Amino acid sequence: MKKKEKNYNLILGASIALFMFLFLMIGVFYTPYDPDAMSGSAKFAPPSLSHIFGCDHFGRDIFSRVLKGTGTTFFVASATVILGGGIGIIVGAFTGYFGGWIDEVLMRFNDAVVSFPNILLALVFISILGPGKYNVILALAIVFIPSFARITRSEFLSQKEMDYVKSARLMGVSHLRIMFVHIFPNILPSVLSMAAIGFNNAVLAEAGMSYLGIGVQPPDASLGRMLSETQTYLMNAPWCAIFPGLAVIGLALGFSLLSDGLLKKGGK
């Protein structure tokens, strides 16, 4: 027997993710200042006791904006993972379990989607749908479907050959019930880790798209948008960019470690 090692990735990732989550939950209920309120006198105010993260070029309190922005980014990323992941898992489950022509058609379509770079494809969808928070979610979800579908498919491909599936068939269990009641719990570790990676990518993609100005629209605070707005002042007022940047890093790192930890826990 191997000695049970502590899963530091899981512990650390979960704590960072939890910390970020608590952080944004504070933002939902309370911000020290109105995140959109401008103040001429506080323009580029450096971090101090009254504005602990300082103020930006409009004199808005960065701490309040980071609180709100983290919330926005988190919402977009979660919605993307739920939507894209949900559809991807269903597609993957059907193609992997049944195979045949459904598999061929859906997977070739998948390959077509995958052959474009993610961000580029999301940009195309945004240019069709128009910018905005919900369109970003939709665009990213579409872009994320293939990766979820692929991993789920491969898991189903290997699971459907297992004896327990055969014995479930013998008991007269229907295909749908086998897929989602018998097989799905077995692939849950991979699904969770996949969701964590997906979340991670969605955070970065949302930040990237908002940075390019096609994501979340002003005056909504979003981490990417804050970075892009303040990059001009990076040398004079670095706090404007450092704190939103740290929040992005926190989200991305937390969920990336979490996904590694989950994979390890699943024994893969």
Residue given tokens 């990059």 in the structure block: 231
Shortest approach of other proteins to residue 158 CB, angstroms?
13
217 binding other proteins? (CB under 8 A) = no
15 binding other proteins? (CB under 8 A) = no
Number of residues that bind other proteins (CB under 8 A): 16
The one among 169, 212, 217, 265 contacting other proteins by CB under 8 A: 169
164 binding other proteins? (CB under 8 A) = yes
What is the C-alpha separation between 265 and 268, in angstroms, rounded?
8
The one among 2, 49, 172, 235 contacting other proteins by CB under 8 A: 172
Shortest approach of other proteins to residue 185 CB, angstroms?
4
117: which DSSP letter?
-
Shortest approach of other proteins to residue 242 CB, angstroms?
44
Shortest approach of other proteins to residue 45 CB, angstroms?
55
Residue given tokens 């303040």 in the structure block: 230
Q: Which of residues 144-163 bind other proteins (CB under 8 A)?
A: 162-163
Cβ distance 183 to 156 under 8 Å?
A: yes
Locate all alpha helices (DSSP H) within 99-238, ordered by sequence.
100-114, 118-129, 133-159, 163-170, 175-177, 184-211, 223-230
Shortest approach of other proteins to residue 94 CB, angstroms?
16
The string of DSSP codes covering 26-56 is: HHHH--SS-TT---GGGTTPPS-SSSTT-B-
Name the residue type at position 60: R
The one among 49, 128, 171, 235 contacting other proteins by CB under 8 A: 171
CA angle centred on 139, ends 135 and 144, rounded to 5° = 145
What is the C-alpha separation between 195 and 77, in angstroms, rounded?
10
Q: Which is nearer to other proteins, 105 or 188 (CB)?
A: 188
What is the C-alpha separation between 27 and 65, in angstroms, rounded?
9
Q: Which is nearer to other proteins, 202 or 262 (CB)?
A: 262
The one among 158, 174, 231, 232 contacting other proteins by CB under 8 A: 174
CB atoms within 10 A of CB 149: 28
Site string for other proteins, 186-215 (x = CB under 8 A): x-x---------------------------
Chain positions contacting other proteins, by CB under 8 A? 162-164, 166-174, 182, 185-186, 188
